[in-house]
Structure 1
Amino acid sequence: MNVLNFVELIKEDKYQKQLTTMKRSELNKTKLKKFVHETLMAVTESLNSGYMAQHQLHLEGRRPLTVGVETGIVNLPYENIDKVTKIMTEEDNREVAVYLTASSDFLNKSGFRIDQLATADDVISDEQSFESQMISWVEEKMQLVKDYQVEEPKKSESKKETKKKTEKSTKKTTKKAKK
């Protein structure tokens, strides 16, 4: 796909998108498998129809997490589409790939992770073979969010008190003698 065409499609919102929201406590293995299966089928349909796609699952709770799939030509989320032309020339043609995305304040320092699942052609030829890979990836990100330790702001090290050495100095003044 041409870089400029890709950027224009995303900027103009000309891609298929879906957002599913549920409470994290309601997500079980069956629901996760269903989401992954339906997502990969929908992404395959989008790609076969010539569309880019973004499908996300937002898990609400104390530690919210959004996971999903994006199709694209570079491992940058659609939110950063303006950066694509800074790292690629507009005339370049790139292979479309399927990326897994995760975002949460409790994921890592950046709050975001993106990994390539496969090329679009590979997913189109057999999306079912990638389901278990995606399920494992999502479960791993859920565990990372659950285990994430919020870093306490670093306290400045207590300064060692050092006694200031002062030397007593006396200033001698001389008086002018009177004549």
Structure 2
Amino acid sequence: MVFSSVPTSSAPGCAPSGYRPASFLDSRTEYRRSGYYEMMSSIACEYGIPVGLFDAMIIRESGYKAGIYSPKNAFGLTQLMPGTAADLGVNRYDVEQNLRGGARYLRQQLDRFGQVHLALAAYNAGPSRVRDGMLPRIAETQAYVDNVLLNWRRLAALPPRATVQVMSELAAVRQQHRARRVTVFSY
């Protein structure tokens, strides 16, 4: 798998996208997702995160269950830990603030590490565990990164083994943002 840099400001051409069912989700998850999709999409764009990436991350984090706790006491759609929520100044029990906190935290990791797979690893395991551009050797984190990227590819309705690529030229036509060429992942 090859990874390269992601944009460090707004997602090129990002506009909140309309809800579209995902064929790989069960009906309960899809129902919950449909209820939060518009808010999630808008917040993702506000923080310069590709909507599909944020959507895929939430699917993995909580399955769009707003009131769910993890065994480690993370809570909500984006599974914010108490300390992380406090650092971000958000109420993790409020759905909108939870989404904003998760988006802001993911944006921080994207800006810090510059690569989607490393940002996802930092989101999951903590930024101190991502060193020298390497994924931590934590099976849970490696599975998390793989699953979020797989979900992102599925949401984009791409065939297995496809390359997801966002070209700055196309993005600039869609919206007037400074953009860079971005290769998210390829096989």
What is the TM-score of this pair, normalised by structure 1? 0.25
Higher strand share: 1
Larger Rg: 1
